[in-house]
């Protein structure tokens, strides 16, 4: 039997994560049974848990995958742009499985943070990475003179995070985007130099 290359392993892992994300989003953590994960991925439980130790590890990998992608976007374009992208995707197609899945996973993370201290501890590291990327980008903007300078960078960071959390909760609960695009203009204006 030919050996499986690292590329093939990575590709398989990526496929499992994508399918599992949709499954967690749709059924929640508890409702995403191993049987449903098998159906969603088209793989046996043996194949799935060859890549991820258990369901909890799979869920955390999905959430970490999302967080890592977000850190990249924040570093490059800032947290407001992350929100604009999210809004655009949510508005473009209400039935967009990827975006709905991503939002659903975010709420599921929130739920587990509240009810599962061990998960909260494992999660804190990733969550800090997003805050750090946001803070560092704001500091660079302040150095460049485009940010208001009468409010500490830390407060501006938490202001943007508050807006981000609000947008996740708004969209994840299926509410229409409404005027959120103009709301984001206000958010952006509030951190800029007048």
Phi-psi region of 34 (alpha: psi -120 to 50; beta: other; left: phi over 0): alpha
Instruction: Considering only residues 131 through 160, tell me which ones interact with a second copy, judged by CB under 8 A.
Output: 151-152, 154-156, 158-159
DSSP annotation of 53 reads S
How would you label 53-91 residue by residue, b for 16+ Cβ within 10 Å and e otherwise?
A: eebeebbbbbbbbbbeebbebbeeebbbebbbebbebbb
Q: Judged by CB under 8 A, does residue 110 bind a second copy?
A: yes
How would you label 94-110 residue by residue, b for 16+ Cβ within 10 Å and e otherwise?
A: eeeeebbbbbbbbbbbe
Judge whether 160 and 133 are in contact, CB under 8 Å.
no
Judge whether 38 and 44 are in contact, CB under 8 Å.
yes
Q: Judged by CB under 8 A, does residue 189 bind a second copy?
A: yes
Residue 11 or 186: the one with the smaller Cβ distance to a second copy is 186
Neighbours of 25 (CB within 10 A): 23
Binding string, residues 37-56; x marks residues near a second copy by CB under 8 A: --------------------
| Interface pick for a second copy out of 76, 190, 192, 193 (rule CB under 8 A) | 190
Q: Judged by CB under 8 A, does residue 33 bind a second copy?
A: no
Spatial CB neighbours of 67, under 8 Å, sequence gap ≥ 6: 126, 127, 129, 130
Stretch of 5-13, 35-43, 139-147, 183-191 contacting a second copy, by CB under 8 A? 183-191
Q: Judged by CB under 8 A, does residue 3 bind a second copy?
A: no
Phi then psi for residue 192, to 5 deg, are -85, 160
Least gap, CB of 72 to a second copy (angstroms)? 22
Least gap, CB of 155 to a second copy (angstroms)? 5
Binding string, residues 79-108; x marks residues near a second copy by CB under 8 A: -------------------------x--x-
Where on the chain is the footprint of a second copy (CB under 8 A)? Answer: 28, 30, 104, 107, 110-111, 113-115, 120, 151-152, 154-156, 158-159, 161-170, 172-174, 178-180, 182-183, 186-187, 189-190
């Amino acid at each position: 039997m030919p050996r499986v290359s690292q590329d093939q392993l990575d590709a398989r892992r990526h496929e499992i994560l994508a399918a599992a994300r949709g499954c967690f989003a749709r059924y929640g953590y508890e409702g995403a049974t191993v049987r449903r994960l098998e159906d969603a991925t088209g793989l046996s439980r043996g194949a799935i848990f060859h890549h991820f130790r258990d369901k909890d590890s799979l869920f955390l990998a999905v959430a970490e995958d999302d967080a890592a992608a977000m850190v990249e976007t924040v570093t490059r374009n800032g947290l407001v742009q992350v929100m604009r992208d999210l809004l655009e995707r949510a508005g473009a197609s209400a039935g967009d499985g990827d975006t709905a899945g991503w939002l659903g996973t975010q709420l599921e993370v929130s739920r587990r943070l509240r009810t599962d201290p061990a998960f909260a501890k494992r999660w804190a590291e990733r969550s800090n990475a997003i805050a750090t990327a946001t803070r560092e980008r704001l500091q660079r903007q302040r150095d460049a003179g485009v940010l208001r300078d009468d409010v500490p960078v830390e407060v501006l960071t938490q202001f943007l995070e508050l807006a981000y959390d609000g947008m996740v909760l708004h969209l994840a609960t299926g509410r229409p985007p409404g005027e959120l695009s103009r709301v984001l203009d206000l958010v952006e204006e509030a951190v800029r130099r007048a």
